[in-house]
Copies of this chain bind each other. A is one copy, B any other.
Amino acid sequence: MTSDALEKVGFLGFDVFGTVVDWRSSVARQAEPFLKRHGIDVDPHRFADEWRALYQPAMEAVRAGKRPWVKLNILNRENLEAVLARHGADVRQLPETDLADLNRAWQRLDPWPDSVAGLTRLKRRFPIGPISNGSIAGMMNLARFGGLPWDVILGAEIARSYKPQPQTYLRSAEAVGLPPERVAMVAAHNADLVAARALGLRTIFVRRPREHGPGQTTDLEPASDWDVVAQSLTEVADALGCP
- Interface residues of chain A, those whose CB is within 8 Å of chain B, are 73, 127, 129, 135-141, 143-144, 150-154, 157-158, 175-178
Contacts and interface: CB of A to CB of B under 8 A. Distances in A.
25 contacts: A73-B177, A127-B140, A127-B141, A127-B144, A129-B140, A135-B175, A135-B177, A136-B152, A136-B158, A136-B176, A137-B175, A137-B176, A137-B177, A137-B178, A138-B177, A139-B152, A140-B151, A140-B152, A140-B176, A143-B151, A150-B151, A152-B152, A152-B153, A153-B153, A157-B175
Contacts of A177: 73, 135, 137-138
A159 to B, nearest CB: 11
A74 to B, nearest CB: 11
Contacts of A152: 136, 139-140, 152-153
Contacts of A140: 127, 129, 151-152, 176
A143 B158 CA distance: 19
Contacts of A178: 137
A151 B152 CA distance: 7
Given A152-B153, A153-B152, A158-B158, A175 B136 contact: yes
Contacts of A139: 152
A174 B25 CA distance: 30
A197 B135 CA distance: 26
A155 to B, nearest CB: 12
A177 B76 CA distance: 15
